[in-house]
């Protein structure tokens, strides 16, 4: 057991160095490719925003009632395409005028908003939530393990509130590199008991003497660690990096961001 712990510690130190501390460093940015906006786009967006948007929306993006651009609060828009059409078409009987921006300026200002107005921040592309929901339940195979609003298995974490618990960057990383994004408590466990039962499950809680988990049959189990023959905590999550395209990932992230713990819409 102590050997396992040491092994995992070594790995997590490496991960922290690569991802935790330098989320926007060169190698990571290249790895993430076109899943997110570049630093150059965000910084170009700052210039566009200051010139075209700040007069009405203010330097912090919060001067128009009901909207906080920096915090990602919009009246209707969800996806980047929605923002694109608001900017190019205008809204509210001309109170939000239509802007005729070049493509690079347009994507830049969206990147700046998605980066939370931080020119050194991370701006994840947010796609279409309706398409994302279809991918979640279909091609993406997410719903085979995750539960949303009372539907789906309970073995993987329930995602009904995930949109308010995680940032877009964290959700995206979960899809692209689940091993780097998995919360430590969710690491899969494999246990062999004294009566030779093998339990595969997901930890819910642990302390010095006991561990509580949900097993693959969705049973809540509480076990005394001293009585276990084997207790292994896997470094790797049970899912692989997604095969979805960059656009599809943006759609799934958009869908996940709509999951706010308020239950299914009636």
Partner 1 sequence: MKMISRVAAILGICLASSASFAQVPYERILNAEQEPHNWLTYNGGYMSQRYSQLDQITRDNVGDLELKWVLQNQVFGAWQSNPIVVDGIMYVTERPNSVMAVDAITGRMFWKYVHTPDERSRVCCGANNRGVAVLDDKVYMGTLDARLVALDRINGELLWNAEVGDVGLAYSVTMAPLAVKDKIIVGVGGGEFGIRGYVAAFDAETGAQVWRTYTIPGPGEPGHDTWQGDDWMYGGAPVWITGSFDPEQNLTFWGVGNPGPDWNAEQRPGDNLYSDSVIALDADSGELAWYFQFTPNDAYDYDSVQVPLLADINWNGTPKKAMMWANRNGYFYVLDRTTGECLVGEPYVRVNWSSGLDENCRPIPTPQPDGMPTYPGNQGGTNWYPPSYSPRTGLFYFSAWEDYATIYYSEDQEYTPGRAFLGGGFSVLAPTQGAPTIGIGRTNPVNNWTNEVGHASLKAMDPNTGAEVWEFEQYDVSDSGMLTTASDLLITGGREGYFHVLDARSGELLYHKNLGGQIVMAPVTYMVDGVQYVSIISGNSLFNFALKD
CB of 166 to partner 1, least distance (A): 7
Q: Is residue 15 a contact partner of residue 31, using CB atoms and an 8 Å limit? A: no
Under the binding rule (CB under 8 A), the answer on residue 29 touching partner 1 is no
Under the binding rule (CB under 8 A), the answer on residue 23 touching partner 1 is yes
Q: Is residue 126 a contact partner of residue 136, using CB atoms and an 8 Å limit? A: no
Among 19, 41, 124, 259, binds partner 1 (CB under 8 A): 19
Binding mask 154-173 for partner 1 (x = CB under 8 A): ------------xx-xx--x
Among 22, 104, 222, 262, binds partner 1 (CB under 8 A): 22
Report the residue number, 209 or 261, with the smaller CB distance to partner 1: 209
Report the residue number, 98 or 185, with the smaller CB distance to partner 1: 185
Within 13 A of 224's CA, how many CA atoms are on the CB side?
3
Within 13 A of 199's CA, how many CA atoms are on the CB side?
25
Contacts of residue 146, Cβ cutoff 8 Å, sequence gap at least 6? 152, 153, 156, 157, 158, 159
Report the residue number, 15 or 54, with the smaller CB distance to partner 1: 15
How many chain residues bind partner 1 (CB under 8 A)?
Answer: 28
Q: Give kind and range of the element (H or E) at residue 176.
A: helix 168-176
Under the binding rule (CB under 8 A), the answer on residue 184 touching partner 1 is yes
Within 13 A of 169's CA, how many CA atoms are on the CB side?
14
Under the binding rule (CB under 8 A), the answer on residue 8 touching partner 1 is yes
Under the binding rule (CB under 8 A), the answer on residue 25 touching partner 1 is no
Among 7, 10, 16, 264, binds partner 1 (CB under 8 A): 16
> What DSSP string describes 66-98?
T-BTTTTB-SS--SHHHHHHHHHH-BTTTTB--
- State which of positions 201-240 bind partner 1 (CB under 8 A): 204-209
Report the residue number, 182 or 199, with the smaller CB distance to partner 1: 182
- State which of positions 111-130 bind partner 1 (CB under 8 A): none
- Which residues in 65-217 belong to E strands, given as ranges? 188-193, 198-206, 210-215
Give the span between the Cα atoms of 104 and 189, in whole angstroms.
47
Q: Which residues bind partner 1 (CB under 8 A)?
A: 5, 8-9, 12, 15-16, 19-23, 166-167, 169-170, 173, 180-185, 204-209
């Amino acid at each position: 057991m102590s050997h396992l712990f040491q092994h995992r510690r070594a790995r997590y130190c490496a991960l922290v160095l690569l991802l935790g501390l330098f989320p926007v460093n060169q190698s990571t940015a290249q790895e993430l490719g076109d899943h997110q906006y570049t630093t150059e786009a965000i910084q170009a967006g700052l210039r566009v925003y200051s010139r075209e948007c700040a007069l009405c929306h203010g330097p912090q993006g919060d001067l128009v009632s009901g909207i906080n651009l920096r915090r990602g609060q919009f009246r209707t828009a969800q996806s980047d395409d929605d923002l694109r059409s608001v900017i190019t078409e205008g809204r509210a009987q001309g109170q939000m005028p239509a802007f005729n921006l070049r493509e690079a300026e347009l994507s830049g200002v969206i990147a700046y908003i998605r980066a939370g107005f931080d020119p050194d921040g991370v701006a994840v592309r947010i796609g279409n939530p309706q398409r994302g929901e279809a991918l979640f339940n279909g091609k993406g195979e997410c719903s085979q393990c995750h539960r949303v609003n009372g539907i789906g298995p309970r073995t993987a974490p329930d995602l009904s509130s995930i949109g308010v618990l995680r940032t877009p960057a964290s959700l995206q990383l979960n899809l692209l590199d689940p091993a780097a994004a998995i919360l430590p408590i969710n690491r899969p466990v494999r246990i062999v008991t004294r009566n030779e039962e093998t339990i595969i499950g997901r930890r819910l809680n642990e302390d010095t003497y006991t561990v509580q988990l949900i097993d693959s049959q969705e049973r809540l189990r509480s076990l005394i660690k001293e009585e276990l023959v084997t207790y292994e905590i896997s470094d790797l999550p049970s899912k692989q990096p997604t095969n979805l395209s960059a656009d599809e990932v943006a759609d799934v992230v958009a869908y996940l961001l709509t999951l706010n713990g308020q239950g299914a819409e009636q």
